[in-house]
Amino acid sequence: MRLFGSHLRRLVRRPATLVTYLLLTGLILLIIVAVAAASQQVADPQSSLAARLILTFPSAWTLTLAMVVAVGGMLALTYGAAIAGAEWSWGTLKTAVARGESRARYTLAAIAGATVLAWAGTLIAYAAGIVGALASAAAVHITSATLIDAQTAGDLAGQLARTALAIAMDVSIGYAIATVARSQLAGIGAGIGLYFGEGIIGIFVPQIVKWAPFAATSAMLGGGTTAVAGAASAASSARLDPDLAVVVVVAWLVLAAGFAAVWTERADING
């Protein structure tokens, strides 16, 4: 607990945290403005309709969340990688271990701390996204009958919990990659490569890639967001059942965090 709290405190102070928050919130607001603009497209009625749906409540609640998780997932991955890489390159892991700290405990506490902050950043961006959607809807005169109903509120609670799992998995995978690379930049690069690599390979072998971390994440969150999955329609036959996807995401989370801990336990710490 002492160690976890200490990791939290130093991450709050870390510039990378603020930069990631601003980046995510900025990207989400930018996307919403673009969506609002698209909703005014008279030449393309179909995309105009889809765009209007995103700005219409109550569906906007889950659609915005899906958007935040899609963008935030990759940022959470690079955030995890940056934190692990810095522990090695700054030598702060070295000093903790030389003080007799357990390497595995230190690693897991760092992952937990980074997850909490990444999750908080996701919520902040989500809140900003909802405010942005409300403002954009008002600006382009899209009116909603009800802001929120019982059904949506129920869905949302479940979705938010699943989002936390997804973020934890992303952070852990980023952390594990950078632990092997022992560098912030290499970890971030490899993390982004994995993120896009999975999508590209998924075009060719969807039956295998549906088990991969990011495909499982989107399947897990896919429940209420099939409307925006237009681009992924080709792959929809190769989607995991949402409940099975939860198990797969948890498995990736445990695997990545466990791998990072074991790798750190066994490594020589030079520098």
Partner 1 sequence: MAEPNAAIVTRGLAKRYGRQVALDGLDLRVPTATVYGFLGPNGAGKTTTLRILTGLVRPDSGSVELLGRPFGRGERRVLFRVGALIEAPSFYPFLSGRENLRALAAAGGPVPRGRVDEVLDLVSLRDRAGDRVSGYSMGMRQRLGIAAALLNDPALLLLDEPANGLDPAGIVGLRETLRALAAQGRTVLVSSHILSEVEQLADVVGIIARGRLVREGPVAGLLAREGEVRLRVAPDEVATAGAALERLLGAGSVRRADDRGGVWLVARCDPARAADLNRQLAGAGVFASRIEAGATLESLFLELTGSARDGLGGA
Positions in the binding site for partner 1 (CB under 8 A): 2-3, 5-6, 9-10, 13-15, 86, 90-92, 94-102, 106, 268-271
Burial of 113 (0-12, 13-18, 19+ CB in 10 A): buried
Q: How far is the CB of 4 from partner 1 (least distance, A)?
A: 9
Q: How far is the CB of 257 from partner 1 (least distance, A)?
A: 18
Nearer to partner 1, 47 or 102 (CB): 102
Q: How far is the CB of 157 from partner 1 (least distance, A)?
A: 34
Let me know: does 7 contact 109? Beta carbons within 8 Å. Answer: yes
Nearer to partner 1, 109 or 240 (CB): 109
Nearer to partner 1, 102 or 183 (CB): 102
Nearer to partner 1, 65 or 96 (CB): 96
Which sign does the torsion angle of CA 127, 7, 10, 262 carry? Answer: negative
**Unique residue bearing structure tokens 């948890």:** 250
Nearer to partner 1, 10 or 52 (CB): 10
Q: How far is the CB of 19 from partner 1 (least distance, A)?
A: 12
Let me know: does 150 contact 164? Beta carbons within 8 Å. Answer: no
Q: How far is the CB of 107 from partner 1 (least distance, A)?
A: 12
Q: How far is the CB of 170 from partner 1 (least distance, A)?
A: 23
Nearer to partner 1, 143 or 270 (CB): 270
CA separation for the pair 248, 196 (Å, rounded): 19
Q: Which tokens go with 17?
A: 């945290």
CA separation for the pair 67, 24 (Å, rounded): 11
- Which residues lie below 8 Å from residue 175, measured CB to CB, with a gap of 6+? 80, 81, 83, 84, 107, 110, 111, 114, 256, 257, 260
CA separation for the pair 260, 107 (Å, rounded): 7
Burial of 214 (0-12, 13-18, 19+ CB in 10 A): buried
The DSSP code sequence of 175-223 is: HHHHHHHTSHHHHHHHHHHHHHHHHHHHHH-HHHHTTSHHHHHHHHHGG
Using alpha carbons only, how large is the chain's radius of gyration in Å? Answer: 20
Nearer to partner 1, 237 or 268 (CB): 268
**Unique residue bearing structure tokens 């955030």:** 79
Q: How far is the CB of 168 from partner 1 (least distance, A)?
A: 22
